[in-house]
Amino acid sequence: MLDMDHATNKNFTFVTGRRKYLLFTDITGYGEITPILSSLDEQNLLYMVYYFNEFSSNHDLKTYLSQQKMGTYIYASGNWNSIISFVKTAEKAGFTEEELQIKGIGERILRVFCSRCYAINVCKTSKEMVCQSCGQSLSVSNHYSRRYDAYLGYTILN
Amino acid sequence: MVYTSRINVLVKKIIQETPLIKRFLLSPINKAALPSFSGGSHITTFIQSSGLNLQRSYSLCGNPSETQLYQIAIKKQAHSNGGSLYWHNEVKEGFKLQISYPKNYFPLSFKAKHHVFFAAGIGITPFIPMMLDLQSNGKSFELHYAAKSKIDCAFYKRINVLFPSNIYFYFSNEGKRMLPEIMQDQLIGTHVYFCGPQSLIKQFTKKAIDYGYPKTSIHFELFSSQPKLDAKPFEVELHKSGQTFYIPKNQSLLKVLLEAGIKVPFSCQVGRCGTCAIEVLSGEIDHQDYFLSDKEKKDQKTILPCVSRCKSSKLILDY
């Protein structure tokens, strides 16, 4: 799984030098892409805008993304659930952190790896949590494991 | 060198691949097997003979799963500094030498959905084990290989046998040219790899960036650094010892420091690995390496003395 923190910016940064831009969004995220739309219009660059729900399935989305050529760049903004699902599909199609930027809106569900018992916990965005498997208090770090698709939870020593 | 351990080998067999290219099969001495390696790896060969001290790096071009033999191919260079001439004229079957452990500055991308290789001449060598790796893992790839003619095309038969599909040859005597436009319509997830003369690497890299390839999807192999034509001499001061050195226009900073007995760790000597990086306290660096990021180059705090030089008259190193 791509490191989403790597592709996440507080505000989108306009990346030049690409041949085609794809913008994916939903109602909550549309405002985030408007500055990018303006830049693309100003520079007369090729782009397409899609709502996430225009694709009937992840399979259709993957098929579409897989047909894109090198030099395609993606901006995606919307609620975190849509973003996480989208990024997984984009990665399967071949996109990397260097070829997309994302902006999640609202609450994000994180997977956290317990460094004590190695269980994967699911939690809402927070700095600290209690491991649901062993009861250990954990500090949620920003160290992301592609293998586990999870952030490392450091044990909090009292 | 950082890694000083060496392996004793002997030249078991020499095969004339083309009029100018020989393939050398190296087998271990007093050792059951050689270390396994990954596609894209190279070894450094060390030859010490009648006052000669040759140290040259060559890509491994055999099968990565073969640990009884290493294979390297060497082209007899018209303007050889001694390395290729010695290998071609003096090295015979049974010749003993030392080699380094394999190192890989040119690995395959694990992320790529499709790998596209561009080889010119002897630049084919690293791609053979890379393609064998990919083939054994069922991965997608294609090779574009330019040579003067079929006769000058090293491994022509072997490549055709090993990789029956997705191989494209460009022989200039038949009027065929390998063009960077091949990269234009590649699908997302493609990684490109270049090996050949520096001019080809520069041309193809620039074109790939123009097409919108991220830098992380572009890979290339260098075994020699192109001398900077407009290089100027400069002065270097080592802050900790206070020693100063004059760097002539035709010598690298690394070479001057090593010859003065300064123990700077180094490895590739072509600005790829970053082993020799030294912090710079003042002076304007003329970056010539392929290791530091754009930001690191802009920061002007680190120099790779194997290739980089100085834009101002003096550098002060934190050394």
Q: Delimit the domains of chain B by residue range.
A: 6-100, 114-221, 234-317
- In this prediction, residue B137 has a pLDDT band, given cuts at 50, 70 and 90, of very high
Instruction: Calculate the CA dihedral of residues A143, A148, A150, A151 and round it to 10 degrees.
Output: -20
- In this prediction, residue B77 has a pLDDT band, given cuts at 50, 70 and 90, of confident
A72–chain B nearest CA distance, Å: 7
Predicted pLDDT of residue A149: 87
Q: What is residue B272's DSSP assignment?
A: S
Instruction: Calculate the CA dihedral of residues A56, A60, A62, A66 and round it to 10 degrees.
Output: -140
By C-alpha distance, which of A100, A86, A132, A83 is closest to A21? A100
Predicted pLDDT of residue A42: 96
Is the CATH number 2.40.128.120 carried by domain B6-100? no
Pinpoint the residues of chain A covered by CATH 3.40.50.80: 4-105
Predicted pLDDT of residue B195: 95
- In this prediction, residue B226 has a pLDDT band, given cuts at 50, 70 and 90, of low
- In this prediction, residue B224 has a pLDDT band, given cuts at 50, 70 and 90, of low
Average pLDDT over residues B149-158: 96
Predicted pLDDT of residue A95: 96
**Correct CATH for A4-105 of 3.40.50.2300, 3.40.50.80, 1.10.8.350, 3.40.190.290:** 3.40.50.80
Residues on chain B touching A17 (C-beta within 8 angstroms): 209-210, 212
What's the CATH number for B114-221? 3.40.50.80
The pLDDT tens digits of the residues spanning B172-206 come to 999 999 999 999 999 999 999 999 988 899 999 99
- Interchain pair B188, A19: CB under 8 A: no
In the predicted model, residues of chain A with pLDDT beneath 50 are none
ipTM exceeding cut-off 0.90 for this assembly: no
Predicted pLDDT of residue B173: 96
Average pLDDT over residues B112-129: 96
Is A42 buried (19+), middle (13-18) or exposed (0-12) by CB count in 10 A? exposed
pLDDT averaged over every residue in chain B = 91
Across the interface, which of B185, B210, B216 has its CB nearest the CB of A96? B216
In CATH terms, are B6-100 and B114-221 the same topology? no
- Report the Cα B141 to chain-centroid distance in Å: 21
Hey, of B109, B181, B183, B187, which one would you mutate to test binding to chain A, going by the most A CBs within 10 A of its CB? Answer: B187
Predicted pLDDT of residue A9: 63
Predicted pLDDT of residue A3: 67
- In this prediction, residue B223 has a pLDDT band, given cuts at 50, 70 and 90, of low
The pLDDT tens digits of the residues spanning B280-305 come to 999 999 998 888 988 899 999 999 99
Predicted pLDDT of residue A5: 66
Predicted pLDDT of residue A153: 94
Average pLDDT over residues B126-150: 96
Tokens of B196: 């050949």
Predicted pLDDT of residue A99: 96
- Interchain pair A94, B214: CB under 8 A: no
The pLDDT tens digits of the residues spanning B242-251 come to 999 999 988 8
Tokens of B95: 């010749």
Please count the residue pairs, one from chain A and one from chain B, whose beta carbons lie less than 8 angstroms apart. Answer: 55
The pLDDT tens digits of the residues spanning B40-74 come to 999 999 988 777 788 888 999 999 999 999 999 99
Predicted pLDDT of residue B37: 95
Is the CATH number 3.10.20.30 carried by domain B234-317? yes
- Interchain pair B183, A70: CB under 8 A: yes
Tokens of B312: 């101002």
